[in-house]
Amino acid sequence: MNSPSPPNETNVEWVLQERARQEERSRTAVGPGARLNRYRLISRVLHEPLRETLPRDFVVAAPPSTGRHSTVFPRQRAILITTGVGYLAAMTTAAFLVRTDIGHAVTTFAWPTDLLAILAALSLAAPRIVALVRALERPAGELPSRP
Amino acid sequence: MGVSDDRELVEGVLAGIPGTFERLVRNYQGLCWHIIFRMVRDPETSRDLCQETFLRVHQKLHQYRQDRPLKGWIGRVAYTIALRHLERRAVPVVDAPSGPADESAVELIEGDFDLEQAYLDQELVGRLHAEIERLAPVPRAILSLYHLEELSIDEIAGITDLPAGTIKSHLFRARIQLRKALESTWR
């Protein structure tokens, strides 16, 4: 609907505004009438492209936050956060054990061997953890044997 | 963009066909920018809100009813996001109604006005741009949709969810304000 009815008694002014817009769109030759031409200038300036534009790479930049990635990234983030929290908890526990009597009592107990047995059972799931524990148990200077 | 092009595009995006969403963004990023930047004005924030708009479009595309133009639907998402952004920051989005004052603005200062010469006058055109910036966000966006995007009043009403009469009123008052600014600069 591009021929709207004028609001209230301001009919004449509205019609003039609309005429100026139409004349600018159809590039009608400029005629007399200061008021009409002022509205034509307003229409022309409003029709100009904006001075600021979106960056050229906007299309490239947009998809990472929209497409499949948005469902993939949260899962990866969750794994990283869980791993990080687990690592911090392990380090805190280790520091606690080293610095206290409880730690001494626990470390003199035969738990590392038991733990190693459990870890060995899980070796298919976590071979790197098992390798790490074995390396820690090995006397200083002894080289690891090849699997 | 015709309705059938829109349908093809939407079906392509929903089916996950590579490149279709990029095409959709490319087709409508101008409209999105015109709405958001005109309302928000800060380029960095506007870019973020455009990203948010297309993210929302991607998430909600299955809700789009294909008997309506996609342009209006995306325009509405962009307009709503910009409006909420401004409301969260307590920015007034419309001018306070001035009432009868507008009627006096209709009284004319005639005299000569050389359109082409005026258009070349950088200071005058700069003044006009500054006056456009002084308008409230909603009338500023409506002016852009009407004059730059060349949308009809009904299409703008569909985007802004405002009655057609309100759209006309915003256009009318804003253009009078701009004309008054011109008259005070160039007599």
ipTM summary value: 0.90
* Residue A135 confidence (pLDDT): 46
**Residue in B closest to A21 by C-alpha:** B147
Q: Rounded CA gap, B35 and B140, in Å? A: 9
- From first CA to last CA, the distance across chain A in angstroms is 80
Nearest CA distance, B112 vs chain A (angstrom): 5
What is the average per-residue pLDDT within B54-66?
Answer: 93
Counting Cβ atoms within 10 Å, is residue A113 exposed (0-12), middle (13-18) or buried (19+)? Answer: exposed
Of the residues B147, B151, B162, B170, the best mutation for testing chain A's interface (the one with the most A CB atoms within 10 Å of its CB) is B147
Q: Rounded CA gap, B167 and B165, in Å? A: 5
| Inter-chain CB proximity B37 and A70 less than 8 Å | no
Residue B186's pLDDT band, with cuts at 50, 70 and 90, is low
CATH code given to domain B3-88: 1.10.1740.10
Residue A16 near chain B (CB below 8 Å):
no
The fold for domain B101-185 equals Arc Repressor Mutant, subunit A (1.10.10)
CA B108 to chain centre: 28
Partner residue opposite B152 with nearest CB, options A2, A13, A34: A2
Q: Rounded CA gap, A78 and A80, in Å? A: 5
Q: Which residue has the higher pLDDT, B15 or B184?
A: B15
| Inter-chain CB proximity A50 and B154 less than 8 Å | no
Residues of A in contact with B102 (CB under 8 A): 10
What is the average per-residue pLDDT within B135-155?
Answer: 97
* Residue B113 confidence (pLDDT): 86
What is the percentage of chain B residues whose pLDDT exceeds 90?
80
Locate the domains of chain B by residue range.
3-88, 101-185
pLDDT at position A84 over 60: yes
Residue B21's pLDDT band, with cuts at 50, 70 and 90, is very high
A residues 124..143 contacting B (CB < 8 A): none
User: Number of A:B CB contacts under 8 A?
Assistant: 122
DSSP state of A6: P
Residues of B in contact with A46 (CB under 8 A): 132, 143-144, 146-148
User: Average pLDDT, whole number, for chain A?
Assistant: 68
Q: Which residue has the higher pLDDT, B158 or A75?
A: B158
* Residue A128 confidence (pLDDT): 46
Residue A46 near chain B (CB below 8 Å):
yes
What is the average per-residue pLDDT within A23-39?
Answer: 90
Locate the domains of chain A by residue range.
8-47, 75-137
Q: Which residues contact B130 (CB under 8 A, 6 or more apart)?
A: none
Residue A23 near chain B (CB below 8 Å):
no
* Residue B30 confidence (pLDDT): 94
**Residue in B closest to A62 by C-alpha:** B51
**Tokens linked to B13:** 């995006």
Residue B4's pLDDT band, with cuts at 50, 70 and 90, is confident
User: Average pLDDT, whole number, for chain B?
Assistant: 90
CA A99 to chain centre: 41
Residue A72's pLDDT band, with cuts at 50, 70 and 90, is very low
Of the residues B21, B179, B184, the best mutation for testing chain A's interface (the one with the most A CB atoms within 10 Å of its CB) is B179
